[in-house]
Amino acid sequence: KAGVTQTPRYLIKTRGQQVTLSCSPISGHRSVSWYQQTPGQGLQFLFEYFSETQRNKGNFPGRFSGRQFSNSRSEMNVSTLELGDSALYLCASSPDGREETQYFGPGTRLLVL
């Protein structure tokens, strides 16, 4: 099976812009989680989707949003970008009934100038 894929792999934006990142889970996985990784804050949970519904959300401002489609692909959107949003954004998927195991994609590295 193909692993979790994320597009794009690298992105450069300027402050105030918005960005949309995409994640395709492993085939058959309906749970998709998003994480932000920065040198200062480490790995932080953003949100988790299952079957097109957001099941859980971390402590991020409303500028961070996400959605999941019927094919389980997920997107996350960040509006009004700030310099501090520069990070590696990681997506992970889990098999049904095995949410204790998460398989991560390679991440999207976002640089905000």
Partner 1 sequence: GEDVEQSLFLSVREGDSSVINCTYTDSSSTYLYWYKQEPGAGLQLLTYIFSNMDMKQDQRLTVLLNKKDKHLSLRIADTQTGDSAIYFCAERRGNYQLIWGAGTKLIIKP
Q: Print the binding letters for residues 94-113 with partner 1: x by CB under 8 A, - otherwise.
A: -----xxxxxxxxx------
SS3 81: coil
Cis-peptide, bond into residue 106, ω within 30° of zero: no
Place of tokens 């812009």: 17
Of residues 11-30, those binding partner 1 (CB under 8 A)? none
3-state secondary structure 3-18: CCEEECCEEEECCCCC
Q: Which residue in 20, 22, 44, 65 binds partner 1 (CB under 8 A)? A: 44
SS3 99: coil
According to the binding rule CB under 8 A, does residue 56 interact with partner 1?
yes
Q: Which residue in 21, 23, 92, 112 binds partner 1 (CB under 8 A)? A: 92
Q: Which residue in 24, 33, 68, 86 binds partner 1 (CB under 8 A)? A: 33
